[in-house]
A = this chain, B = another copy of it.
Amino acid sequence: METVSENRCFGGVQGVYKHASSVCKCDMTFAVFLPAEAAHGPVPVLWYLSGLTCTHENAMTKAGAQAWAAEHGIALVFPDTSPRGADVADDDAFDLGQGAGFYVNATQGPWAPHFQMWDYVTAELPDLLASQFALDMGSQSITGHSMGGHGALTIAMSLPGRFRSVSAFAPICHPTASDWGRKQFTAYLGSDHALWQGHDATLLMQKGGFDGPALIDTGTDDQFGDLLGTEHLANAMAGRRQEGTLRLQKGYDHSYFFISTFMEDHITFHAEALYQ
């Protein structure tokens, strides 16, 4: 693992690191914020999975998360959203290929060799983090935005016991019924829809839900609202009496101005679960 940069930030350190990923078969970059408390022992971890087109950098610089993570003594992890590089397959569309990994393990065509973001985020990167940083891997929570909200929700529900709490900002809620999902699942996973179901938050919520509290915020003026399918997840959450809160925030859109506005709420929510 190589240190790309480290900057003092809210009493802790905002670092960017690079490593050779064996599951993605390319160099991967990620960012970690360590609060001051990490100098004295392992701290709880909040994962932030980013949306389409993003790298590790967008949320690190624009979400305003470090202020609240520092207040609660929590580390933040910002993975990239896909494998990268000249050798990695890509597509001209912004919503397929590099920057659009969708947090699945691709089985199809040119994507399969590198696009293994599920395994990267749930196995390889956690193992690396546990070995390199003062993190309490027994106290983890997860959040994300848009495609990353989809990732956070599907990963949290698929790995019972791993995460204490889950939240999402404007998540893609029902990708098997959305143009943000069907296109990518067809490309990465193929046409067998049975394989898609483990990557759809609404279907997972109907099936088993999440074994902890959930918090979801989506703007009433989200310009991608029809692609998110929030109503399906709302129905599924209420239907199975999932412990959680789903808020439609008046006037907010899909931007980081929306995310940063509600970041304090989300980190406070996770802190309660992480310190239980």
Task: Determine if A64 and B219 form an interchain contact, defined as CB atoms under 8 angstroms apart.
Answer: no
User: What residues make up the interface of A, taking CB atoms closer than 8 Å to B?
Assistant: 7-11, 14, 61-62, 64, 66-67, 219, 221, 251-253, 255-258, 260-261, 264
Task: Determine if A61 and B9 form an interchain contact, defined as CB atoms under 8 angstroms apart.
Answer: no
Task: Determine if A260 and B8 form an interchain contact, defined as CB atoms under 8 angstroms apart.
Answer: no
Task: Determine if A66 and B260 form an interchain contact, defined as CB atoms under 8 angstroms apart.
Answer: yes
Task: Determine if B8 and A256 form an interchain contact, defined as CB atoms under 8 angstroms apart.
Answer: no
Task: Determine if A253 and B8 form an interchain contact, defined as CB atoms under 8 angstroms apart.
Answer: yes
B-side contacts of A251, CB under 8 Å: 8
A260 to B219, CA, bound (A): 25
A252 to B61, CA, bound (A): 16
Task: Determine if B67 and A260 form an interchain contact, defined as CB atoms under 8 angstroms apart.
Answer: yes
B-side contacts of A219, CB under 8 Å: 8
Minimum-distance CB pairs A-B, first 6: A9-B257, A7-B257, A8-B251, A64-B64, A8-B252, A10-B261
Q: Give the contacting residue for A253; candidates B7, B11, B260; CB below 8 A.
A: B7
Task: Determine if B256 and A61 form an interchain contact, defined as CB atoms under 8 angstroms apart.
Answer: yes
How distant is A71 from chain B, measured CB to nearest CB, in Å?
A: 11
Q: Give the contacting residue for A62; candidates B8, B11, B61; CB below 8 A.
A: B61
Cross-chain pairs A/B with CB under 8 angstroms, 5 sampled? A9-B261, A10-B261, A11-B261, A66-B260, A67-B264
Q: Give the contacting residue for A9; candidates B10, B67, B221, B260; CB below 8 A.
A: B260
B-side contacts of A257, CB under 8 Å: 7-10, 14, 66
B-side contacts of A64, CB under 8 Å: 64, 67, 260
Q: Give the contacting residue for A8; candidates B9, B10, B258, B264; CB below 8 A.
A: B258
How distant is A73 from chain B, measured CB to nearest CB, in Å?
A: 16
